[in-house]
Amino acid sequence: MFGINFYKADPSTHVMLFKNGEVKLQGRGTSFYYYAPNASIVAVPLSSKELPFVFRMKTKDFQEITVQGQITFRIDRPEAAAQMINFSINAKGMYLSDEPEGLDERIMRSVQVVVRNAMESMNLQQALSSAKVLTGALQEQLPVQSNLQRLGIEITEVSLTAISPAPETAKALEAEVREALLRDADNAIYARRLSSIEKEKQVREEELETEKAIARKQQDLEKQALEAEREKLQQQFNMDQEKLLARTDNERKRAELVELENANSKARADAKAYDLKAQLAAFNDIDLERLKVMNMNAARPEQLIAQAIENLTKGENKVGSLNFSPELLQSLIR
């Protein structure tokens, strides 16, 4: 009534009341009465806003790529924003110009500039894997953009949802990746087979080393057995040598004993021969006829008859022939 109105702002809106070009009242969520004919109300939204974007760019190697993401921003300095953009509202709370709606486009251009500069310095392969790098670049470069600083804009969050190539390029990359995966699979199979062969080789080498160790152990056992047999044979040889030496010594002693016995027997024989020689020498001095007569005293009749017959064949009494009757021979034989 009479041009006096009441305005009440919500807590997410910064309100400034201008009269005659000067700020008479301002604040967040402020309510007041004003005289409409000479007052202007500026309402700057302070709430954060999400702004999605999709850009088609070209990489350093002239490949088309699509970057999708979202940024979240808010007006941190409403006074600076009110100086750059007309946030004036009418009595119904509607903006008097289209400039507030163009704020998103200004921010989008700043984001596009950063993304374009980053993509132009990368090739396709690098761009497809640059989400982390590009996010860092946006977080670092957007806050220092001069136009955003003049607008009092604060970037609260940056997120990239996709970086994708053109469909034809994607098919080519898929084919290349598929071939690479197949090569990797073949390499994996080859590496697995090679590893299996290597392990089998190691097993065979270990088995061979085990067999060699067993063979060496067997050789050692055989060597020990041969050494024991050699020692046994050596001991047997030594015993045989000792027996042979003992037998040789016994034979030598026996030979010495036989030689001594022979010497003793020879000495006894010599003594006996000397004795007989002496006796025979004594008998040589005795008359043989006289000795016969002396032996007749103890002779038997047949001996005496034989002596008489012998005498008839010697000396002066020698006869030419002598006849014996059977009775005489028979008596002699008896």
Q: How far apart are CA 114 and CA 145, in angstroms?
A: 10
Token couple for 119: 């993509």
Per-residue pLDDT in tens (0 to 9) along the chain, 334 residues: 567 888 888 888 999 999 887 888 888 888 888 888 888 899 999 999 999 999 998 888 888 889 999 999 999 999 999 888 999 988 888 888 888 888 889 899 999 999 999 988 888 888 888 889 999 999 888 888 888 888 899 989 998 888 888 888 777 777 777 788 888 888 888 888 888 888 888 888 888 888 888 988 888 888 888 888 888 888 888 888 888 888 888 888 888 888 888 888 888 887 787 777 777 676 666 555 655 655 665 566 666 666 666 666 666 666 666 666 666 666 666 5
Q: Cβ distance 17 to 23 under 8 Å?
A: yes
Three-class DSSP category at 76: coil
What is the separation, in whole angstroms, between the first and last Cα of the chain? Answer: 218
Q: How far apart are CA 141 and CA 110, in angstroms?
A: 9
Q: Which residues contact 25 (CB under 8 A, 6 or more apart)?
A: 15, 16, 17, 32
